[in-house]
């Protein structure tokens, strides 16, 4: 194999596929990056068995200044090779692999010789046919991910809950995640789509995927197979394993009525929750208390740590209606929920001190709902 | 105690004194910040026993909008109190301490009640008289620190070597540090100064001190006592413990002649060392090798890791004179030395493969010298 290339094009693609490469893998070959040069360009592959990323650098895109003189393939230690490429002295670099599996990397007066491995020892990526596919706008996909992945479980005791459950029925897409203490559900109508799918994708895969949806990405092609999903982003293919099993029916968890409703500005409420959690974090059970007094038209937030002290704050709100209520909850769940809601005005709706309460954006409240289970404090 | 103050003025000063406050202290009271309100203003104190910082916020400086209604003093948990002040909702804040040692902090609709401790339980700061004092320009002090502290030892086995040895003899100041593998010495003539001093100050104290020398600080007053030094920076007093003992005589270590001299641009040499150390860091003994061939007018840098591979690079230089030489050294010492030299052109002078070599700036080479001991590789 022999090619020369613009170093920053190469480094950018190397960083993209490195997202899938873990240094803590039990399969040694997966700490490597696979580099293959063929007729159409350079193909880089990284994988941690759960996520695989395959990116192509086209020879006919002049900005890459890619010239392949000799096709071939090699595996090189990913972290180390990336460090080298990052620090090479010139704008261009050359890579030559001889018969001995040694890669010689040159740039300016600097010459690295690195021991590689036979590319044939790298695992095959799954093959996913084009039968079950649809196209999503990248910004919408990014939003769906960020609004749901915040509620997935980080505990492996119930593996299904570490994923986001996505169902597509005709033109309607619903994404839902819950760790059994809180839930986030995003719904969406996809114009001109008529598809059917039902799958659970690991939260970590979605987090990595969303990092690849930079501003210049306009759309993503989605293809679903038995136990794999493929997101095609331009010349980059992002594969993820799917979780196998029946996701719990979450629709019955979402309350359909409420007895107390308050409208807040999300950023102001978030700031108050952050203050109250300073004290709750020092306590044993990390709980804050909200006291709603309808007649007095006041909402007060309390945080307390027996050793350090306490905080109380009268919250400002746009609207309060319904019954008096006192409710305690984990402020970290509220923080994450509010981050998912961004700068918007929101409605929080309660039914009883020990029943889950909901957060929805005041506008477009049909399509995004979050649910938080309160904490019993007595 | 009762006062109100501009929150950002207060936070800035709180952050300054917090530099001296460690969360890992064996003296519990030192995790607190001392806050005292007296006739002239607010005095904040933090200490870790080695370093103490006392900062005054003047009531007559209008930008502080400080109003002291009732004098007094309290100790509050530093890390925690700082987090509270950082997150308060309004530009102004008020602090009231009642008879029960509870501090009530209010800002807008938010009210924190925090348990404090009696200020009398805080250790007294040392008293340092004004007899032995001098004034240093802040930028010069900053430079002296950054150019020498890089060579102090981080090992407590020889405690004296964790400090910088400073001698002032008339108008001449010499600062030197060595960890026995490398050495950095900065000399300076102080205009209009005639003083005599000889002390060893912990490197960590100087590092913290240099962080307080922001661009708006013009000069620093230095006062030296038996086992303490005081740097007065505007309204902030920075105290450091001194190290007790006889610092080794380092003057005889510095070579007075050389057989090979090379002039490099420091940034280009640093970039090449960074590349070579990528491989040496993976090897067992972290060594790079420099091969100087005078007749061929080439200087080549080699890095090697038996498992991963090797690198070689022909270095560019402005001038080479003297004998051929091959020398091996720890690239990390060279990196640190080059960082101390900044963007300048430098001269590296060698005498023999196992004798220390020196780095000096090409300009002003009388006043700054660094020395690195090579490594035997056979």
Q: What is the dihedral of CA A255, A261, A265, A268, to 10 degrees?
A: -100
Q: What is the pLDDT of residue B374?
A: 96
Task: Name the CA dihedral angle for A326, A329, A335, A336, rounded to a multiple of 10 degrees.
Answer: -130
* Residues of chain B neighbouring A278 (CB-CB closer than 8 A): 80, 83-84, 87
How do strand A228-233 and strand A51-58 relate by DSSP bridges?
unpaired
Q: How confident is the prediction for chain B on average, in pLDDT?
A: 94
Residue B307 in this model has a pLDDT that exceeds 90: no
| CB spacing of B311 vs A110 below 8 angstroms | yes
Suggest the residue from A7, A278, A309, A314 to mutate for an interface test with chain B (most B CBs closer than 10 A): A309
- Check whether A378 has a pLDDT greater than 70: no
What pLDDT score does B216 carry? 87
A254-372: CATH topology is Proliferating Cell Nuclear Antigen (3.70.10)
Chain A residue closest in CA terms to B305? A114
**Chain B contacts to A (CB-CB under 8 A):** 77, 80, 83-84, 87-89, 102, 109-115, 271-272, 274-275, 278-279, 282, 307-316
Identify the H or E element spanning B325: strand B325-329
What number is the average pLDDT over the span A96-120? 95
Domain with CATH 3.10.150.10 in chain B: 2-121, 133-241
Chain B positions in Cβ-Cβ contact with residue A315 (cut-off 8 Å): 109
pLDDT band for position B4 (cuts 50, 70, 90)? very high
Say whether A271 and B89 touch across the interface (CB within 8 A).
yes
- List, for residues B78-93, the tens digit of each pLDDT value: 999 999 999 999 999 9
Between the two ends of chain A, the Cα-to-Cα distance in Å is 70
For residue B167, give the DSSP letter. Answer: E
pLDDT tens digits, one per residue of B143-175: 999 999 999 999 989 999 999 999 999 999 999
Q: What is the helix (H) or strand (E) element at residue A182, kind and residue range?
A: strand A182-189
Average pLDDT value for chain A: 94
Task: Determine the pLDDT at residue B26.
Answer: 85
User: Of residues A192 and B198, which shows the higher confidence score?
Assistant: B198
Which CATH number is correct for B133-241, 3.90.320.10, 3.40.50.880, 3.10.150.10, 2.40.70.10?
Answer: 3.10.150.10
Residue B131 has pLDDT above 80, yes or no: no
Give the pLDDT of residue A167. 96
A26-66 residue pLDDT tens: 899 999 999 999 988 999 999 998 999 999 999 998 999 99
Which of B251, B103, B90, B110 has the alpha carbon at shortest distance from B167? B251
pLDDT tops 80 at residue B34: yes
What pLDDT is attached to residue B192?
86
- Which region among A130-134, A214-218, B274-278 has the lowest average model confidence (pLDDT)? A130-134
ipTM: 0.87
User: Tell me: the pLDDT tens digits for A285-326?
Assistant: 899 999 999 999 999 999 999 889 999 999 999 999 999 999
The answer to whether residues B204 and B195 touch, using CB atoms and an 8 Å cutoff, is no
pLDDT band at B10 (very low <50, low <70, confident <90, very high): very high
Numbered residues of chain A with Cβ closer than 8 Å to any chain B Cβ: 77, 80, 83-84, 87-89, 102, 109-115, 271-272, 274-275, 278-279, 282, 307-316
The pLDDT tens digits for B314-363 are 999 999 999 999 999 999 999 999 988 888 899 999 999 999 999 999 98
Numbered ranges of CATH 3.70.10.10 in chain B: 254-372
Residue A69 has pLDDT above 80, yes or no: yes
Q: What residues in A contact B307, CB-CB < 8 Å?
A: 115
pLDDT at B378 over 80: no
* Residue carrying the six token digits 């308060």: B88
What's the whole-number mean pLDDT along residues A208-215? 92
Neighboring chain B residues of A89 at a CB cutoff of 8 Å? 271-272, 275
Fold (topology level) of A2-121: DNA Polymerase III; Chain A, domain 2 (3.10.150)
Q: Which residues of A touch B89 (CB under 8 A)?
A: 271-272, 275
Closest by Cβ to B114, choosing from A80, A114, A309:
A309
Give chain A positions within 8 Å (CB) of B98: none
**A271 to B87: CB separation less than 8 angstroms, yes or no:** yes
Residue among A33, A39, A26 nearest A10 (CA): A33
What residues in A contact B309, CB-CB < 8 Å?
102, 112-115
């Amino acid at each position: 194999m022999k090619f020369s290339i613009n170093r920053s094009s190469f480094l950018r693609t190397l960083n993209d596929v490195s997202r899938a490469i873990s240094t803590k893998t039990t399969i040694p070959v997966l700490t490597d990056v696979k580099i293959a040069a063929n007729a159409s360009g350079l193909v880089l592959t990284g994988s941690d068995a759960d996520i695989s990323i395959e990116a192509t650098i086209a020879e006919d895109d002049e900005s890459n200044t890619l010239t392949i003189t000799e096709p071939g393939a090699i595996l090189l230690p990913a972290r180390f090779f990336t460090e080298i490429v990052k620090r090479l002295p010139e704008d261009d670099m050359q890579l030559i692999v001889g018969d001995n599996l040694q890669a010689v990397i040159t740039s300016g007066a600097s010459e690295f010789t690195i021991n590689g491995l036979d590319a044939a020892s790298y695992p095959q990526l799954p093959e996913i046919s084009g039968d079950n596919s649809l196209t999503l706008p990248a910004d919408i996909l990014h939003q769906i991910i960020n609004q749901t992945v915040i509620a997935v479980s980080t505990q492996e005791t119930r593996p299904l809950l570490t994923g986001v459950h996505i169902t597509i029925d005709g033109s309607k897409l619903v994404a839902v995640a819950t760790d059994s203490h809180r839930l986030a559900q995003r719904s969406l109508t996809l114009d001109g789509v008529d598809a059917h799918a039902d799958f659970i994708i690991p939260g970590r895969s979605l987090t990595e995927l969303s990092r690849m949806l930079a501003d210049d990405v306009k759309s993503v092609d989605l293809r679903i197979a038995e136990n794999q999903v493929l997101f095609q982003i331009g010349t980059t293919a992002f594969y993820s394993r799917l979780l196998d099993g029946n996701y719990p029916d979450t629709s019955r968890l979402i309350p359909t009525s409420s007895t107390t409703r308050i409208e807040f500005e999300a950023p102001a409420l978030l700031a108050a929750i952050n203050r109250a959690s300073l004290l709750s974090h020092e306590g044993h059970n990390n709980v804050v208390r909200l006291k709603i007094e309808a007649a007095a038209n006041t909402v007060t937030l309390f945080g307390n740590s027996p050793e350090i002290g306490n905080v109380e704050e009268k919250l400002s709100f746009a609207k309060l209606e319904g019954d008096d209520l006192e409710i305690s909850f984990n402020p970290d769940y509220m923080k994450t929920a509010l981050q998912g809601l961004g700068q918007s005005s929101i409605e929080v709706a309660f039914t009883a001190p020990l029943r889950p309460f909901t957060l929805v954006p005041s506008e477009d409240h049909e399509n995004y709902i979050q649910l938080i289970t309160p904490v019993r404090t007595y």
